[in-house]
Structure 1
Amino acid sequence: MLRLAAVAERVLEHPLARAVVDGATEHGLPLSDPADFESVTGQGIDAGVLAPAAEQLARTGRTPILVAVDGRPAGALEGFR
């Protein structure tokens, strides 16, 4: 899941995106260029997914990083405080 998030985030300059990419790199995960995605300023990457787990993370002060594969939710990474 970290690799999938890092592929999507690697073209972004946001500090959270950099942290995800750096984490994947530190784990030796192979990263390719993302094919299709839309970056929405102030809202992150539009994946068409809003998971209840993401709402819970946000309420506790963490930033949820949602991952979708072929338009289907694949999971969420617990974000950073």
Structure 2
Amino acid sequence: MASITIRNLDDEVKTRLRIRAASNGRSMEEEARTILRAAVEERAEPRNLARAIRARFEPLGGVELELPVREPVREPPIFDGASS
């Protein structure tokens, strides 16, 4: 197995990693391995704006909107050069 050294890690990041590791019952080293493993295994899906918006607001609850009644489509104007 390979090993890496991470220099200049912010104290706040280290503290949060330590807390996250403790809450998951792991060492900081194992927590870092888990995070790195998950980050490189993620497959990039094409971004879907509608799905991203729905995921952001879904926890807040739904909204029922009253949709207006649609009217029939009008005939398009004719531009044939003849004046009425």
Q: TM-score range by the shorter chain?
A: under 0.3
**Bigger Rg, which one:** 2
Where is the strand percentage greater, Structure 1 or Structure 2?
1
Normalising by structure 2, we get a TM-score of: 0.20
Normalising by structure 1, we get a TM-score of: 0.20
Higher RCO structure, 1 or 2 (CA under 8 Å, sep 6+): 1
